[in-house]
Structure 1
Amino acid sequence: MTGNIAIIGYGLSAIGPGIGIGLIFAAFINGVARQPEARGMLQSIAILGFAFAEALAIFGLVLYFIS
């Protein structure tokens, strides 16, 4: 029984980072479209934000295996 609940919990915990990653890259594309010369600075910030958002999904996966 707890395995099924853990699977549902991991699925729900993956929604947040998925939305976050989408918002990060949408803002990156919008920023580059407005100021193409700022691409380098915006890209490094977007990759850092992606890594932090993806870490949340990895933590959720680890918690799924622990429970």
Structure 2
Amino acid sequence: MDREFYRQQAQRVRDLAEKADPFTRQRLLDLAGRYDARAGSPSMASRMIERPLPRTAPPVSTFSRAGEA
């Protein structure tokens, strides 16, 4: 397969990802990244669709409790 085919497939998959639920979107973006790699294109990170980063709380062990030092 040639580079143009992989570039087109990556763009098609990204277009689908725009309309997908978060789980499917991530999988489609990963697939698009694999197509980019085969095409020799820049990494997927530079072409990713904007999405918020997941919010995480620090581990419970980092909180100090009364009486602990």
Give the TM-score taking structure 1 as reference length: 0.43
Rg bigger for which structure?
A: 2
Give the TM-score taking structure 2 as reference length: 0.42
Structure in which a larger fraction of residues adopt helix: 1
Relative contact order, CA 8 A, sep 6+: which one is greater?
1
